[in-house]
Structure 1
Amino acid sequence: MLSRCRAAASSLAPSRSSCRSVHYVAPGGTNPPPVRVQRASRLRGRFDKGDIELFKEICGQTTDPSRYPLASSVAKNVVVYDGNTIRKSLAASSRGETRDEFMAEFHDCLLQGPGVFAIKGCMPDHSVLDRANAAFRTIIDRERRESGVKGDHFAPAGNNERVWNSFQKHAVEDPQGFVDYYANEVLDTVFEAWLGPGYRVTAQTNIVKPGGRAQQPHRDYHLGFQSEDVASRFPIVSQIASQLLTLQAAVAHTDMPLISGPTQLLPFSQHFDYGYTAYRHPEFIDVFRSSMVQLELAKGDAVFFNPALFHAAGDNDSTDFDRWANLFQVSACWGKPMESVDATAVLRAVWPHVQNLAKKSGHDAPGVQALLKAICDGYSFPTNLDKDPPPPDGHCPPTQLDRAFRALESDKTTAQLEEVLERYEQMRLP
């Protein structure tokens, strides 16, 4: 499907491609006629009617339920999974094989399919969400007193309440609540399905108040946060590839009835190659508004989507209901996360609670692994290879994640862990 869409995009705009002549000299010295080779344009020109029609065609597709046999349903072209089913499957004796099957479906949905899926009951313990909400409220009130109104993405400042870097702030404000929240093997399975090992988690809490207006439809980080002028300077193939570096997600911290404005989504729109420059244009906005869908979510449900999917937070048309969500932007290990997270500070804050969880459930328990993978840097680079050389049997020095797992297995205290992490940081410095 993806290659078909891209082939169609090229055929609609032949003037944006150029041709070059390739000459081949045979060993005997004879020269055959030049071969005309089509070369795709590096950059993108103006949009025309054909682009709009192609965009409509791409977004007019229908999700095939038979492609996702592990899902519980398809609603408004969004693939829907049941969190309890996933957890039971991951806990079964064939966990590795079953996990791979779920990961394959998640990845296919995000890349080749509609680009979005939901997991009902992704966070089943509402007391964990209530505790997180209390921590976020404390942080919001403190930051408002100290800093005033903050800016927002794709919405006017002051309309919503937002906690930037809620990931680290949550850990410092309520370490036990943070551990309960991120010891979630379902999240880990989804994140790794799209991004592979070593992913980095960042999170931002967003509260949309009654009367809060919808965002402008957009694509997300990386290129979605750049101006159109800057985005247009990146080669088209780089724009397409950038969607593989990030995963977007939203966990509902309250119920989200339609009147409260859950996220507006345009399934399949990630297949339009030029969307990072197109989403600001009125013609594409009109298509979005006429074709987008919204899913009513219950507290604890989560939505995951390709960052190239056109989307927007919706209008909160209620009169007395604040819509709470924790928004994830999870980065591949070789991408640059949007926010700087001090993993050492997070580990220092939560370490005794990590140890307690490991003692109760085992060091290798999926929840413990998910928690440490969310916190730690699981990639070896960049580093100082003079001070932090690769081991004799490999090319990659041990990661912060490796060291944290070893510290957990040897039951190191918080002070001992800090010594380990300090040595690790010093080895990586120039």
Structure 2
Amino acid sequence: MTLEAAPTHTWPLAQPRRRVPRAFTPADVAAFDAICEPASLRYVLTPGSTTTNAADYPLAREVASNIPIYDAADLRHLGPEARDAAMGELHDVLLTGPGVYVVRDAVPAAIVDRATAALERIIKREEGTGSGGGDHFAAPGHNSRVWNAFGKHAAEDPASFAAYYANGVLALCFESWLGEAWAVTAQVNVVRPGGRAQIVHRDYHLGFQSPATTSRVPYLSQLASQLLTLQGAVAHTDMPLESGPTLLLPYSQTYGPGYEAYSVPAFQDVFAKRSVQLPLRKGDALFFNPALFHAAGSNTTADLHRAANLLQVSAAWGKPMESVDRAKVLLDVWDELVATWRDGSLSHADKDALVAACCDGYSFPTNLDKDPPPKDGYCPAPMLDVVRCALGRGANKVEAAELLAQLAEKRRA
């Protein structure tokens, strides 16, 4: 028997090791312009065309200005396989697609109106005391901003809060980008007639840092940053183009050095040349990758106060921009939660969306001396699991308060 010689392979590990650079090379405005030109074939993350092909997004009703438009009715009541497929499509839109999509009628207009009435009371009180918030990227005095509108809404009107966030379509959008255990925060923004456009920017995390700070962040961490947050907005008024809906630059999120480049005038010029706007109706939702170049537009109307609930949703392992006292939110809306849990009029997806929005769905950080991993697993029970069990057995508000206090004590350092 003759043994054949073993084939010779050149394994990658046998090659001289190539050091991965820590920082981006200097930004190239010509490459950025080519990425964002609708007919371009230049791309950064994966090969492909920067013209949105409707066939790539079969769940979308249409494509307008390179942006897929979905209808909430098509995203409700999906079975497990269809739901996974929908999440895959939405994820692809944000990662290597245009980076932005719209969901028509994401929140029913009647529910939006109830929430708007509660939020307007909050705005009036805060402006009466001089405590109303400013904006990150717009001149002061041109809008009304409510920080932590999520917690304030729950305290102001638990019923309308519960109706608003018992929304499986919103939860589907959140999970598609961030996975489970997402954490939602919300800020209300009202732009008055005459309000000027924002400066073009990227969003949280690195979009809120100075260029000097960002340049010291390794480029792989810059790319990873966009995966930690989902930016969204629910229109609380109709938003015709003259009211200044958000200016968007499709595919700009695929440009790697964008967190360092968006403040450079030459890149701002590309944005001014290539950005698009879509009119929105009350109840429509807009979702986009935080790395997308964007800016709220100028409100040139005489009498339309453009209002939106800005949703900033964080992955379990990202730090949210706002701190929310979720135990207080839970107790503020506990009676609504109990009624919703028992109410057969809502789908399981809508009920679960409401509870998930109110809770911390992640086990960490915690004090592992007092809150050790269970014998059959690695993670202590998160607030979400504790609350689901309490709702399942019909706990009242007093019992819920005691459970939440015990959980807080276990997690306290």
User: Fold match, TM over 0.5?
Assistant: yes
Choose the corresponding residue for 2:56, options 53, 67, 73. 67
* Partner residue, 2:34: 57
Q: Which residue of 2 aligns with 1:86?
A: 75
1:104 maps to 2:93: no
Q: How much has 1:112 moved relative to structure 2?
A: 1.3
SS at match of 2:22: coil
- Counterpart for residue 328 of structure 2: 345
- Shift of residue 83 of structure 1? 1.0
Output the CA distance in 2 between the equivalents of 1:117 and 1:362: 29
- 270-279 vs 126-135, which moves further: 126-135
Query: Which residue of structure 1 aligns with residue 135 of structure 2?
Result: 152
Query: Secondary structure, in 3 states, of the residue corresponding to 1:206?
Result: strand
Q: Which residue of 2 aligns with 1:113?
A: 97
Q: Please show how residues 334-413 of structure 1 align to structure 2 within 5 Å.
A: 334-361=317-344, 365-413=348-396
| Further displaced range: 284-293 or 144-153 | 144-153
1:293 partner SS:
coil
Corresponding residue number in structure 2 for 1:138: 121
TM-score, normalising length from structure 2?
0.92
Matches within 5 A, 1:90-239: 90=78, 95-124=79-108, 126-148=109-131, 150-239=133-222
Q: Residue 340 of structure 1: CA displacement?
A: 0.4
Instruction: Please list the CA deviations of residues 404-423 of structure 1 after superposition, one character each: whole Å capped at 9, or x if unmatched.
Output: 10010000001100101110
Indicate if the aligned counterparts of 1:63 and 1:77 stay in contact, CA closer than 8 A. Answer: yes
Give how far 1:429 is off.
1.1
Tell me the amino acid that sits aligned with residue 52 of structure 2: T
Aligned position for 1:20:
none
Contact persistence 2:123–2:132 (CA under 8 A)? no
Larger helix share, 1 or 2:
1
Summarize deviations over 1:289-322 as a string: whole Å, max 9, x none: 1000100111111110000000000010111110
The answer to whether the 8 A contact 2:132-2:146 is kept is no
Matches within 5 A, 1:243-254: 243-254=226-237
- Match of 1:204, SS state, is strand
Partner amino acid, structure 2, of 1:108: D
Paired residues of 1:149 and 1:157 also in contact (CA < 8 A): no
Distance in 2, matches of 1:368 and 1:35, equals 55
Aligned residues of 2:361 and 2:383 also touching (Cα < 8 A): yes
CA offset digits 1:250-305 (Å, max 9, x no partner) = 11011000000100000000001111110001000000010001001111111100
Distance 1:210 1:362, change over 3 A: closer
CA drift at 1:150: 3.0
Of the three residues 38, 43, 53, the one matched with 2:23 is 43
String of CA shifts for 1:225-271, please: whole Å, max 9, x gaps. Answer: 11111111100110000000000001101100000010000000000
Which amino acid in structure 1 is aligned with residue 185 of structure 2?
A: T
Hey, what's the Cα distance between the residues in 1 that align with 2:20 and 2:386? 46
Q: Which residue matches 1:29? A: none
Offset at residue 40 of structure 1 (A): 3.7
CA contact (8 A) 1:247 1:306 kept: yes
AA partner of residue 120 (structure 1):
R
SS state at 2:343 partner: helix
Structure 2 counterpart SS, 1:294: coil
Pick closer, same or farther for the CA change 1:353–1:35 going to 2, 3 Å. closer
* Residues in 1 aligned to 2:80 and 2:353: alpha-carbon distance in whole angstroms: 15
Superposition CA RMSD, Å: 1.4
* Aligned-partner Cα distance in 1 for 2:342–2:254: 46
2:3 aligns with none
- Deviation of 1:43 (Å): 2.0
Distance in 1 between residues matched to 2:133 and 2:64, nearest whole Å: 35
Report the Cα offset of residue 44 of structure 1: 3.6
CA distance in 1, matches of 2:117, 2:345: 29
Q: How many residue pairs were aligned?
A: 388
The answer as to whether partners of 1:363 and 1:409 remain within 8 angstroms in 2 is no
Question: TM-score normalized by structure 1?
Answer: 0.88
Aligned to 2:47: none
